[in-house]
Amino acid sequence: MNEVFLHKLTWPEVKDYLKENDIVLFPTGSTEQHGKHIAEDNDAFTALEVAKRVAKKTGVLVAPVMPFGYSPHHMAFPGTITLPFATLVNVYKEVCKSLMKHGFKKIVIMNGHGGNNNAIALALRELKEDTGVTVYSLMVFPGRWAPEVVKETIETRGGHADEMETSVALYLGQRVLFEKGEKGILPETTSEFIQKYRARSSTAYDFNDMTVSGSLGDPTYASVEKGKKIMEAGIDEIAKFIEELKEQ
């Protein structure tokens, strides 16, 4: 079967797939600001594109992408859409339960947004308790899967709409207004207390407390070549995980 998207198949085709394979990838991300240069769907776009590439390597299906996530910390920037935490947990659970009902026994949530991590973790725990099924989750960015390649390729660090994320976006074909990318700088209103302890303490920071442009880091160092190198390495490693999961 050449088609990798579950939602592009007919129900008899899905039924035939399930005779041979019980894995499905469920991409999820967010719709939130990504600096002045990357489209707001970037986390969802990245999750879907990585899932598609992994699916083509492994012969598994990809469920429709969940485009909204937990992003209240980005709401000061126009265009961001967020869901309440409990709503997001329930959406993850209900999508997975629907897939389980049809016979998908191995579900892998392909997550492109760090703000979703806690909601996914709770959903996975409750699904395990409710159904007995183990659902997996992974971050699609290469920092988890090819850390050495990232370390030798990416020159600067940030964490959001930075060199790495911009390089990934460029390589995957996202809408990137590269010339508008700006290094993240602290707002003038950021207190000395926050500047001193932000990296060593945790609280519910909003992004407009930490950056004027919406970026953390310096996207001007990004390139298609860097994105290609780190993403190909990361996708290869994720594909290995999927192949091994097939045998479990």
- The tens digit of pLDDT for each residue in 79-105 reads 999 999 999 999 999 999 999 999 999
- The tens digit of pLDDT for each residue in 171-216 reads 999 999 999 999 999 888 888 888 888 778 888 889 998 899 999 9
221 in a domain, yes or no? yes
The percent of residues in the chain predicted with pLDDT above 90, rounded, is 90
- 2 band by pLDDT with thresholds 50, 70 and 90: confident
Contacts of 216 (CB under 8 A, 6+ apart): 158, 159, 160, 161, 162, 184, 210
* Cα 84 to Cα 68, 69, 88, distances in angstroms: 10, 9, 6
DSSP 36: B
Task: Mark out the alpha helices in the chain (DSSP H runs).
Answer: 11-20, 42-58, 85-102, 117-131, 147-153, 163-172, 192-197, 224-246
150 in a domain, yes or no? yes
pLDDT of residue 92: 98
46 in a domain, yes or no? yes
Q: Which residues of 166-176 are buried (b: 16+ CB within 10 A; e: fewer)?
A: bbbbbbbebeb
154 in a domain, yes or no? yes
pLDDT of residue 194: 83
CA-closest candidate to residue 186, choices 177, 194, 175: 194
72 in a domain, yes or no? yes
* Cα 114 to Cα 59, 71, 87, 179, 236, distances in angstroms: 27, 9, 17, 26, 21
pLDDT of residue 241: 98
| Count of structural domains within the chain | 1
pLDDT of residue 189: 83
Would you say how long the chain is, in residues? 248
Contact of 126 with 93, CB cutoff 8 Å: yes
CA-closest candidate to residue 50, choices 190, 114, 145, 183: 145
DSSP 142: T
1 in a domain, yes or no? no
For the segment 36-49, the average pLDDT, to the nearest whole number, is: 98
For the segment 67-85, the average pLDDT, to the nearest whole number, is: 98
12 in a domain, yes or no? yes
Rounded to whole angstroms, the maximal C-alpha distance in the chain is: 62
225 in a domain, yes or no? yes
pLDDT of residue 1: 67
pLDDT greater than 80 at residue 55:
yes
- The tens digit of pLDDT for each residue in 106-157 reads 999 999 999 999 999 999 999 999 999 999 999 999 999 999 999 999 999 9
Domain with 124 in it: 6-246
- 16 band by pLDDT with thresholds 50, 70 and 90: very high
pLDDT of residue 17: 97
For the segment 232-236, the average pLDDT, to the nearest whole number, is: 98
Distance CA 101, CA 239 (A): 25
Q: Report the CATH number at residue 149.
A: 3.40.50.10310
- What residue type is assigned to position 219 of the chain? P
CA-closest candidate to residue 67, choices 40, 89, 85, 87: 40
